[in-house]
Amino acid sequence: MKLIILFFSLLALSSSVVLAATDHAHSEPHDHEETLEGPHGGRLLENENFAVEITIYEQGVPPEMRVYAYENGKPVDPQQINLTVTLTRLDDEQNLIDFTTEADYLLGDTVIDEPHSFEVVVEAEYQGKSHHWHYESFEGRSTISDRMITLAGIETESAGPQTLSITNSLYGVVSVAEDRQYRVHAPYPGIIESVMVNTGDKVKKGQVLVTVRNQTTLQNYSIRSPAKGEVTRRMANAGDHTDMGSLLEVSDLSRVWVELSMFPADIEQLRVGMPVKVKDLHQHESAEGKISYISPKMTGGHIARARAEITNAEGHWRPGMHVNAEVTVEQYPAELAVTHSAIQSYRDMPVVFVQNGNTFEVRMLTFGKRGADYIEVLSGLKPGSQYVTTNSFLLKAEMLKSGASHDH
């Protein structure tokens, strides 16, 4: 909270901040003249008795530029106009747009990719006379000083290829590994003289657990622990006869099983040996293991079962504990990806903020496959772009506070 207050306090005092978040046809001109609006809601550019109206149309079609021409306020046949528009973006990329006639307007030959933020140069010829206009139409753009970038803790990385860990989220329950659970029996019948341990006691391999008087020889003998572990059940007491069955249960909990549950569609993705990351429900601890078993049977509720094994040296993973598990089902090489922490929602679209010098600007993205840490980018971002990975929410908040809009 202190970071947010500091950021906005400094931003309010800084004259270096320029956030021109305007619509596509309504940008502040260099000379601060009033921006005129045409009959179709676009930006109206006038020169003597001739004018053009610049619009971006995207209802049911990819964004396209449509330009209407007027003389003395009346529509002009678009076939009489020779027009080009040049858009210069933040990274100095230029889009040259040529036009053909369609209905009562001139239609640009280029899709106007998001963000619709650029400097615009319009060149028109009509009846042997040339007309020239230049204006800025910025949205989702902010210029910030080096000091404020440092104080806000804004960090970036270069967008590039990443290997995505594609995971499947499952639920599970910790259980004792069957091969690490030992039931202690008496090898010879007799009467129990003493039981040296109680439930919960830690024991060493070979430690004396029980003494028994042999009913045939009347000699005492000792029963020792078969493994290092913990007494998880005590069934016997002094004076009991050994024919009762198991006297004690010793469990080695240094490694435990995680019994995983899933729907049939999920189990089709699983293979023995796939990596698993287990987290407790409070996200306090995690452990890594591998799928060690996939059951060939379904439960009565049509639930599939699989198993992972994890280390438990500190004893955090207690049998009966419910956990979440992320199984890595695929390692996918993405040509371009961004980290999840960078993504914000802007105008109901997923975006990241790219940096060019001290200027930051939104990039609307289309995503592909989603990994544990990164997500594939299909469009909207150039490889090598420096994008904000830390505290990008501060940039979003400032742009929203400054009244960013996106009208046509």
pTM assigned to the model: 0.71
Helix (H) / strand (E) containing 315? none
Which phi and psi (to 5°) does residue 339 adopt?
-75, 150
**Conformation bin of residue 129: beta by default, left when phi > 0, alpha when psi is -120 to 50:** beta
Distance (Å) of CA 323 to CA 34, 179, 208, 251, 286: 62, 22, 35, 20, 10
To 10 degrees, the CA torsion angle through 336, 339, 345, 350? 20
Domains and their CATH numbers in the chain: 22-138 (2.60.40.3340), 143-164+333-401 (2.40.420.20), 168-175+254-331 (2.40.30.170), 180-251 (2.40.50.100)
Q: Are 157 and 374 in contact (CB under 8 A)?
A: no
Q: What is the mean pLDDT of residues 202-212?
A: 97
Q: What is the reported pLDDT for 326? A: 93
Q: What is the reported pLDDT for 226? A: 96
Q: What is the reported pLDDT for 16? A: 38
Decide which of 26 and 124 is more confident.
124
Average of per-residue pLDDT values in the chain: 89
And the tokens for 129?
């006379």
Q: Residue 34 has what DSSP assignment?
A: P
Distance (Å) of CA 403 to CA 23, 381, 397, 407: 11, 24, 10, 12
Question: How many C-alpha atoms does 195 have within 13 Å on its Cβ side?
Answer: 24
